[in-house]
Structure 1
Amino acid sequence: MTYVIHTRAELARDVAAVPGEIAVVMTMGALHEGHRRLMREARKRSAFVIVTVFVNPLQFGPNEDFDKYPRTLEADVEACRAEGVDLVFAPSRDEIYPAGVPSITMNAGPLGEILEGASRPGHFSGMLTVVQKLLMLTRADVAFFGEKDFQQLTLIRRMARDLEIDVEIVGVPTVREPDGLAMSSRNRYLSPDDRRAALALSRALREGATHTDAEAALATARKILADEPSVRVDYLALTGPDLGEPGEEGPARLLVAARVGGTRLIDNVPLTLERAA
């Protein structure tokens, strides 16, 4: 049985009655297979799974899509029920921010100012603020996040470590459509032509990741993106697994953000660099 609650008082009551480990999957709703994969991984790990559904206004900029972001709570609850989630916490804005916009928020630090942070100032401060609040409210022992939002995952891990938050952060590999497009709630905004053009992102990353040399990986990905005129690249970057400078060898990450039509998409893949012989 999946229970749906909307207030922090109900949440406090319910989590206080849980005898074992609590797992949480935080979402903004409009759930898709990627979210369901997170739920399944959470269920494998913990006997009690909470899914939060909250479109967080703090992480949207003034020209972003907060007002039109899809709200599909009824369908979201059905997806949670199908995956055996125990509790859906779907609070209002006033329930999460009872005093209005908080005067004290999280500082994402230097890692929050690059890549997505450079393109969306304040985004990660808002994201970390609500994640920290939801970790405290749900009393989660373990939290699951998708690797598609790799910078977000990295920052949440850093926050938990730096602030001594007693929670395990688990990353789950990106779930893709059969054609390779990374699953996203924003994919529904793509027209058929935009959808075809958007495949350049995953193709660029996939082909780039076949190289073990950083410059070759970037050059290959850059050319594929340049050959698709409908794709307006925001950034293409190769970093270390912690988003710092990549080493000459070892694990790295290739990340991209671009606009296709009126929709902004992000994606990333892991790769392994090797020192030139």
Structure 2
Amino acid sequence: MDLFTTAAGLLAYAETARRAGQRIGFVPTMGALHDGHLQLVRAAANDCDVVIASIFVNPTQFNNPEDFRLYPRLPETDADLLRSAGCTALFLPSVEEMYPQPAVLKFNFGALESVMEGAHRPGHFNGVATVVSKLFHLVRPHRAYFGQKDWQQVAVVKQLVADLSFDLEIVAYPTIREADGLAMSSRNRRLTPEERAVAPQLYQALAQAAEQVRQGMPPAQVQAGALATLAREPRFTPEYFEVADAQTLQPLTDYAPGRAVVLCLAVHLGAVRLIDNVIVSLG
């Protein structure tokens, strides 16, 4: 596996692959890798000739400086995992390499970012769009792979690709979970043993709400019930629980046949903020 720390080195590598007619798969990450990330790498290796992964903890998408400071950083371990999963090149830049000068461009994703993560983390998706745009320009992938745990992020990146005419396909893979249902996340490493023991209740609340949606319970009742369920665990501080259209991400007041529903939550558990979601397909 080749390692690049400069944009120029990565760009030259990607251009060489393109000129040779090779298909490039790209997996952008912030490191502290788990099997959800590795699933994406393995999928890219199956689909493409060259697999490029990036590890970059992007400061512009954090609106909490402490969260940025504490985000797990394990580059050596991550590199070994990527190599074993079939990655052919790793981009590991510094903040100065990615931002030689402060970014001033502002993105506006309209209704997609007015809810959930966008509402609770001002500037988050502007930071995501900025760094993803930079990486797409450097890697010029044919396919880019993302996990569905960050459902709203996937929607925003798809809009970015469409609006800026990036010549690539976005591939989203289902959330990978631990045996007890907890969505795999780099932030799980920061949970105490006591917090980790109660964390699966988040998925249990989502699964219960999904069954209520299938039974036709009104969205407002599903939302209220889920928040009441989460409130029974004193370690949880819910930020939101939304019953939304899976495509537009707008909160629902009723269901439409043939339109998928996404149930999304964000909860603080101790010092760690966790997100998760479940998609419900309606006939």
TM-score w.r.t. structure 2 length?
A: 0.92
The yes-or-no answer on 1:230 pairing with 2:229 is no
Which secondary structure does the structure 2 equivalent of 1:67 belong to?
helix
| Residue number in structure 2 paired with 1:267 | 276
Give the one of 36, 39, 48 matched to 1:37: 39
Distance in 1 between residues matched to 2:107 and 2:139, nearest whole Å: 18
Amino acid in the other structure paired with 1:11: L
| Residue number in structure 1 paired with 2:256 | 248
Once the two structures are superposed, what CA deviation does each residue of 1:218-275 show, in whole Å capped at 9, x if it has no partner? 344233212212111000001111113444333110000000111100000001346x
Question: Which stretches of structure 1, 4 residues or more, deviate above 4 A after TM superposition?
Answer: none
Distance in 2 between residues matched to 1:241 and 1:270, nearest whole Å: 7
What number of residue pairs does the alignment pair up? 272
| Residue number in structure 2 paired with 1:60 | 62
| Residue number in structure 1 paired with 2:16 | 17
Distance in 1 between residues matched to 2:32 and 2:62, nearest whole Å: 16
Once the two structures are superposed, what CA deviation does each residue of 1:119-152 show, in whole Å capped at 9, x if it has no partner? 1100110011100110111011110000000100
Distance in 1 between residues matched to 2:233 and 2:64, nearest whole Å: 29
Distance in 2 between residues matched to 1:208 and 1:137, nearest whole Å: 41
Amino acid in the other structure paired with 1:88: L
Distance in 2 between residues matched to 1:43 and 1:54, nearest whole Å: 21
User: Any conservation in 1 of the 2:242–2:251 contact (CA below 8 Å)?
Assistant: no
Of all paired residues, the percent bearing the same amino acid is 41
Distance in 2 between residues matched to 1:13 and 1:158, nearest whole Å: 27
Which secondary structure does the structure 2 equivalent of 1:66 belong to?
helix
Distance in 1 between residues matched to 2:74 and 2:107, nearest whole Å: 28
User: Any conservation in 2 of the 1:108–1:128 contact (CA below 8 Å)?
Assistant: no
Greater fraction helix:
2
Cα 1:144/1:237, change in 2 over 3 Å:
same
| Residue number in structure 2 paired with 1:181 | 182
Distance in 1 between residues matched to 2:28 and 2:57, nearest whole Å: 10
Distance in 1 between residues matched to 2:109 and 2:68, nearest whole Å: 21
Distance in 2 between residues matched to 1:260 and 1:62, nearest whole Å: 16
User: Any conservation in 1 of the 2:141–2:168 contact (CA below 8 Å)?
Assistant: yes
Q: Where in structure 2 are there 5+ consecutive unaligned residues? A: none
TM-score w.r.t. structure 1 length?
A: 0.94
User: Any conservation in 1 of the 2:32–2:78 contact (CA below 8 Å)?
Assistant: yes
Q: Where in structure 1 are there 5+ consecutive unaligned residues? A: none
